[in-house]
A and B are shown apart, each in its own frame.
Chain A
């Protein structure tokens, strides 16, 4: 029985079908996390076969085992330190020669290895005849042919793993022998290592391999050895050997070793593979003739990016509305159940609102990651980077930064998550830092409000200028960060353009699901906590000392309204509560309502206002003739109802405004408002900006509350009017600029924290944007004043 869990790991080049094999073996039973300390993804899954239980680890896709990237270091450290029972090296059989280069290095680790030749069907079509027993003999390890996408060969693989574990099959990896001078150096260094290094270290890291790495000047291994060897003797020896080899062989050991590994790989390839067809034009080349062609390449690229954006946000909007509606309904339900006001506010506004603000992004994220998985798995993502790199490189970014930047215009949250396509951490950090400058759709309502209020004739151009400002700032900051944060490091752009392939449905679904789950679990907690804090700040204290007793004023108004209604009711002899259903009043109201409806639609129905008024007056007179004297009374009644509605709305709005100004958020706003005064903002602007931390669209709502607009029908009109009273066009524009740049919303901060796995970068992102917002706004405001615009 399975009393022991065996560890297997899958290693291989990117695009060799590693993840397809992993999915085929583990199915949905997998867990995605990060390797400790780094943002490299770690996938684990469990599988049982013939009573043996396996824990399978999908290692990151790599080309080599140097210290070039985090992925390579993670892989070799895992294999050497954790000592998995069997290492499965999957290779793309259609690209066997290049893939065997990594295999050569894995063989040198001296661990039990199985070589899996994936995509055997394609290799056969390409005319490759691979003599498997011959290859097994040349490499000294078992070789399994496979078509992972169809599940062919997975059983044979697990059977072979079982044989190795039961020691029915012995694995003795064969490794390249280097030229005499290098072999001598390896032996000398090996001897020194064995005598100088602690035993536990040598047991983990084979001395021959260490010696090779030292000759290759591998930074990680040098660091590791330096930590353990006190004196300089080891490095003096290594340097002496390197100089000697370079002098005799005319090239540095690093190059020579790589050369000979390739020699070993292509030797094995040539001996074990017979190529029967020559130079057939592949499907990939034919597709690339269109998709990366000089003329059609860019139009197709724009079309695909545009399509991705549209799908993510247009299609995502539908379930987004459902989620919003669902949470509103849930909130209403709880609002009815819970009578305690503070508990109601906590549950409805705090918890349900907070969870809603996390889940509302989920449709976007799922669709986006489905599209990204599709682009990556088909091979188009690499082409997109190939096409856009010229432009992005100019900005100090990478070709693959393009997609996150475009997604940023929709929403910064999925945009930050989309930076996962970037392999290089520096590229990722810079892209994440500037992606928040892409004006997301939540900021649009702010621009629409202010542009509509202050620049009604040029609203479109004004909003467009804000978007352009965001892009320009992103370019400037990207170049700035490249120089200041990562000086002297060129961003290498060496990227494989993999063959186009049909993705598997299972692979796409797993990919999408993993990302969605990760977003909810990890980013969700930060977003939820943040939303709760902001909710608390803006709704507490619940009973601040107000300048007036609004509740009493409201009661007084209700009493006044009631007595006014009673007076009207007495003159027609009905109880006051039956006034709305009193027959003539009801008829008048219906006439007035239908008049209002018709007059708003009169352009569409093509009738003149005069005719409608005449029609209305005739109808009113008809009722009046049946019930004489009721029309003037109805007019009094109508104006009383309207008056009451206005007064209560105004009182409620004033109370809300005062409460909001006295809440912790309001106090904070007033406290920090001196800092924003040089930008032309008053405390109201500041409070609105603080509320925008939850989500930038809230700024508009807060503005409504602070400017005491209440629940009037023409709310936005009234808000615009009162904004015009308090602000100038210049401050309005500066406010838009500030809204564009400052602190991304809580949700974005949450995913930045999650994606970069670092509070340091998260805080940096939050603070640099705010400082930048201040500086740019200051320049606009003071510059505008100098030009006499204020």
Chain B
């Protein structure tokens, strides 16, 4: 389980699942994301993209949370092979 198969959350395809391994987000938004359930070890699914391609809807701990791709890029995901 090295860092080599980690990829940004923003690059998941709709319907694709993975587990959060690293949160490279800084500042108050990190806090906010953690409060919404984005912590290492949590399984997530990219449910859908908004019609214009951004933001994305992430399914985390049973809730739909919409975040911008800018932020999703800094959440690193391990996708089971």
Could you tell me which A residues sit within 8 Å of B by CB distance? 63-64, 66, 68, 94-95, 97-98, 101, 254-255, 258-259, 262, 266, 284, 288, 292-295, 297-298, 301, 382, 385-387, 389-391, 393, 399, 490, 492-498
Given the contacts A97-B62, A292-B50, A494-B29, A390 and B55 also touching, CB distance less than 8 Å? yes
Given the contacts A95-B62, A293-B51, A497-B64, A68 and B39 also touching, CB distance less than 8 Å? no
Nearest CB to that of B70 among chain A residues? A490
Is B66 a contact of A495 with CB atoms below 8 Å? yes
Q: In whole Å, how far is B81's beta carbon from the nearest beta carbon of chain A?
A: 22
Is B68 a contact of A393 with CB atoms below 8 Å? yes
Is A68 a contact of B55 with CB atoms below 8 Å? no
Is A298 a contact of B64 with CB atoms below 8 Å? no
Instruction: Determine which residue in A64, A97, A492 has the highest number of CB atoms from chain B within 10 A of its CB, and name it.
Output: A492
Is B51 a contact of A294 with CB atoms below 8 Å? yes
Q: In whole Å, how far is A587's beta carbon from the nearest beta carbon of chain B?
A: 72
Given the contacts A390-B53, A490-B29, A255 and B65 also touching, CB distance less than 8 Å? no
Q: In whole Å, how far is B65's beta carbon from the nearest beta carbon of chain A?
A: 6
Complex: how many Å from CA A292 to CA B34? 25
Complex: how many Å from CA A97 to CA B37? 9
Given A98-B62, A295-B51, 11 new contacts (CB under 8 A): A63-B36, A97-B61, A258-B39, A292-B51, A297-B51, A298-B51, A386-B57, A389-B55, A391-B52, A490-B29, A496-B36
| Residues on the B chain within 8 Å of A101, using CB | 35, 37
Partner among B31, B54, B55, B64 whose Cβ is within 8 Å of the Cβ of A496:
B64
| Residues on the A chain within 8 Å of B53, using CB | 390
Is B51 a contact of A259 with CB atoms below 8 Å? no
| Residues on the B chain within 8 Å of A492, using CB | 28-29, 32, 71
Nearest CB to that of A391 among chain B residues? B52
Is B65 a contact of A64 with CB atoms below 8 Å? no
Nearest CB to that of B57 among chain A residues? A497
Complex: how many Å from CA A417 to CA B67? 26
Is A68 a contact of B28 with CB atoms below 8 Å? yes
Chain A proximity mask over B4-47: 1 for CB below 8 Å, otherwise 0: 00000000000000000001000111011111110111100000
Is B31 a contact of A254 with CB atoms below 8 Å? yes
Complex: how many Å from CA A493 to CA B66? 8
Could you tell me which B residues sit within 8 Å of A by CB distance? 23, 27-29, 31-37, 39-42, 48-55, 57, 60-68, 71
Is A494 a contact of B54 with CB atoms below 8 Å? no
| Residues on the A chain within 8 Å of B57, using CB | 292, 386, 497
Complex: how many Å from CA A399 to CA B57? 14
Complex: how many Å from CA A393 to CA B39? 26
| Residues on the A chain within 8 Å of B32, using CB | 63, 68, 492, 494
Given the contacts A95-B63, A255-B23, A496-B65, A387 and B50 also touching, CB distance less than 8 Å? yes
Complex: how many Å from CA A63 to CA B33? 10
| Residues on the B chain within 8 Å of A255, using CB | 23, 34, 39-40
Instruction: Determine which residue in A98, A266, A295 has the highest number of CB atoms from chain B within 10 A of its CB, and name it.
Output: A98
Q: In whole Å, how far is B33's beta carbon from the nearest beta carbon of chain A?
A: 6
Given the contacts A98-B63, A493-B67, A496-B65, A390 and B52 also touching, CB distance less than 8 Å? yes
Complex: how many Å from CA A97 to CA B61? 7
Partner among A293, A294, A390, A496 whose Cβ is within 8 Å of the Cβ of B63:
A496
Ordered by A's residue number, 22 sampled pairs between the chains whose C-beta atoms are within 8 Å are: A63-B32, A63-B35, A66-B35, A94-B62, A95-B63, A97-B62, A98-B37, A98-B60, A98-B63, A254-B31, A259-B39, A259-B40, A292-B57, A294-B49, A386-B55, A387-B51, A389-B54, A389-B66, A390-B52, A391-B52, A496-B65, A497-B64
| Residues on the B chain within 8 Å of A301, using CB | 51
| Residues on the A chain within 8 Å of B55, using CB | 386, 389-390, 399, 493
Partner among A258, A266, A292 whose Cβ is within 8 Å of the Cβ of B48:
A292
Complex: how many Å from CA A386 to CA B51? 9
Nearest CB to that of B23 among chain A residues? A255
| Residues on the A chain within 8 Å of B23, using CB | 255
| Residues on the A chain within 8 Å of B37, using CB | 98, 101, 262
Q: In whole Å, how far is B23's beta carbon from the nearest beta carbon of chain A?
A: 7
| Residues on the B chain within 8 Å of A95, using CB | 61-63
Complex: how many Å from CA A301 to CA B65? 19
Is B50 a contact of A495 with CB atoms below 8 Å? no
Nearest CB to that of A297 among chain B residues? B51
Is A493 a contact of B68 with CB atoms below 8 Å? yes
Complex: how many Å from CA A421 to CA B48? 24
Q: In whole Å, how far is B50's beta carbon from the nearest beta carbon of chain A?
A: 5
Partner among B35, B39, B40, B50 whose Cβ is within 8 Å of the Cβ of A390:
B50
Complex: how many Å from CA A94 to CA B37? 15
| Residues on the A chain within 8 Å of B52, using CB | 298, 387, 390-391
| Residues on the A chain within 8 Å of B54, using CB | 389-390, 393
Q: In whole Å, how far is B39's beta carbon from the nearest beta carbon of chain A?
A: 5
Q: In whole Å, how far is B26's beta carbon from the nearest beta carbon of chain A?
A: 10
Complex: how many Å from CA A258 to CA B62? 18
Is A64 a contact of B35 with CB atoms below 8 Å? yes
Nearest CB to that of B67 among chain A residues? A494
Complex: how many Å from CA A241 to CA B31? 20
Q: In whole Å, how far is A364's beta carbon from the nearest beta carbon of chain B?
A: 30
Complex: how many Å from CA A389 to CA B55? 7
| Residues on the B chain within 8 Å of A66, using CB | 31, 35
Q: In whole Å, how far is B76's beta carbon from the nearest beta carbon of chain A?
A: 14
Complex: how many Å from CA A254 to CA B26? 12
Complex: how many Å from CA A544 to CA B64? 68
Complex: how many Å from CA A94 to CA B23? 27
Is B33 a contact of A494 with CB atoms below 8 Å? yes
Complex: how many Å from CA A187 to CA B55? 43
Given the contacts A494-B36, A495-B66, A497-B64, A389 and B50 also touching, CB distance less than 8 Å? yes
Is A389 a contact of B68 with CB atoms below 8 Å? yes
Nearest CB to that of B65 among chain A residues? A496
Nearest CB to that of A289 among chain B residues? B48
Complex: how many Å from CA A717 to CA B62? 65
| Residues on the B chain within 8 Å of A298, using CB | 51-52
Is A494 a contact of B39 with CB atoms below 8 Å? no
| Residues on the B chain within 8 Å of A494, using CB | 29, 32-33, 36, 65-67, 71
Q: In whole Å, how far is A271's beta carbon from the nearest beta carbon of chain B?
A: 16
Complex: how many Å from CA A95 to CA B48? 20
Complex: how many Å from CA A382 to CA B57? 11
| Residues on the A chain within 8 Å of B35, using CB | 63-64, 66, 68, 101, 258
Complex: how many Å from CA A101 to CA B66? 19
Complex: how many Å from CA A254 to CA B27? 12
Q: In whole Å, how far is A743's beta carbon from the nearest beta carbon of chain B?
A: 35
Complex: how many Å from CA A495 to CA B33? 10
Q: In whole Å, how far is A682's beta carbon from the nearest beta carbon of chain B?
A: 48
Is B65 a contact of A68 with CB atoms below 8 Å? no
Complex: how many Å from CA A176 to CA B15? 34
